Homo-oligomer: A and B are copies of this chain.
Amino acid sequence: MKSYLLSLCILLFAPAAHAASDAAVNTAWVVLASALVFFMQAGFALLESGMSRAKNAVNVMMKNYMDGCVGGITYWLVGFGLMFGSNLTGWFGMSHFAPQGGEPWDYTFLLFQMMFAATAATIASGAMAERTRYAGYLIGAVIISGFIYPVFGSWAWGGAYGGQGWLAKLGFIDFAGSTVVHSVGAWCALAGIMVLGPRLGRFANDGTPRVIPGHNLGLVTLGGFVLWVGWFGFNAGSTLGVTESLGLIALNTHLSAACGALGAMLALRSSSSPVLLTTTINGSLGGLVGITAGCATMGPGFAMLTGLVAGFVVVFGMRLLERLQMDDVVGAVAVHGFAGVWGTLAAGLFFNGDLFSWARISVQLIGAGMAFAWAFPMALMVYFLIAKTIGLRTSTQDEQRGLDYAEHAEVGYPEFGQTVTFDGSELTRRG
- Interface CB pairs A-B, < 8 A, 14: A18-B21, A19-B22, A20-B22, A27-B242, A31-B246, A45-B225, A46-B222, A53-B415, A65-B277, A69-B258, A105-B244, A107-B300, A110-B251, A218-B413
**In the assembled complex, which residues on chain B have CB atoms less than 8 Å from the CB atom of A73?**
255, 258-259, 262, 304
CB nearest neighbor in B for A43:
B225
Q: Is the CB of A418 within 8 A of B415?
A: yes
- With A76-B300, A277-B58 as contacts: A414 and B25 at CB distance below 8 Å: no
- Cα–Cα distance between A324 and B392 once the two chains are bound (Å): 41
- Cα–Cα distance between A35 and B234 once the two chains are bound (Å): 12
Q: Is the CB of A276 within 8 A of B45?
A: no
A392 to chain B, nearest CB (A): 18
A343: interface (CB < 8 Å) = no
Identify which of residues 245-277 in chain A touch chain B, using a CB-to-CB cut-off of 8 Å. 245-248, 250-251, 254-255, 257-259, 261-262, 265, 274-277
Q: Is the CB of B39 within 8 A of A225?
A: yes
A412: interface (CB < 8 Å) = yes
Of A93-101, A149-157, A169-177, A370-378, the one contacting chain B is A93-101
A28: interface (CB < 8 Å) = yes
Q: How many A residues face the partner with a CB closer than 8 A?
A: 123
CB nearest neighbor in B for A274:
B409
- Cα–Cα distance between A262 and B70 once the two chains are bound (Å): 7
**In the assembled complex, which residues on chain B have CB atoms less than 8 Å from the CB atom of A64?**
221
- Cα–Cα distance between A408 and B278 once the two chains are bound (Å): 10
A89 to chain B, nearest CB (A): 28
- The 6 A-B pairs of least Cβ separation, nearest first, read A108-B247, A15-B16, A42-B225, A274-B409, A104-B244, A19-B19
**In the assembled complex, which residues on chain B have CB atoms less than 8 Å from the CB atom of A215?**
413-416
Of A4-12, A190-198, A200-208, A383-391, the one contacting chain B is A4-12
Q: Is the CB of B410 within 8 A of A62?
A: no
- With A19-B20, A45-B222 as contacts: A415 and B408 at CB distance below 8 Å: no
- Cα–Cα distance between A259 and B411 once the two chains are bound (Å): 25
CB nearest neighbor in B for A41:
B225
Q: Is the CB of B243 within 8 A of A49?
A: no
Could you list 16 further interchain pairs (A-B, Cβ under 8 angstroms) beyond the known A20-B22, A20-B242? A19-B20, A35-B229, A39-B229, A58-B218, A61-B218, A65-B225, A65-B284, A69-B257, A73-B304, A76-B300, A104-B248, A108-B250, A111-B250, A114-B251, A217-B412, A416-B417
A369: interface (CB < 8 Å) = no
A398 to chain B, nearest CB (A): 14
**In the assembled complex, which residues on chain B have CB atoms less than 8 Å from the CB atom of A23?**
18, 244
A30: interface (CB < 8 Å) = yes
- Cα–Cα distance between A338 and B29 once the two chains are bound (Å): 33
Identify which of residues 97-154 in chain A touch chain B, using a CB-to-CB cut-off of 8 Å. 98-101, 104-111, 114, 134
A359: interface (CB < 8 Å) = no
**In the assembled complex, which residues on chain B have CB atoms less than 8 Å from the CB atom of A17?**
15
- Cα–Cα distance between A66 and B265 once the two chains are bound (Å): 10
Identify which of residues 202-247 in chain A touch chain B, using a CB-to-CB cut-off of 8 Å. 213-219, 221-222, 224-226, 228-229, 232-233, 236, 242-247
- With most chain B CB atoms within 10 A of its CB, the pick from A20, A104, A214, A242 is A20
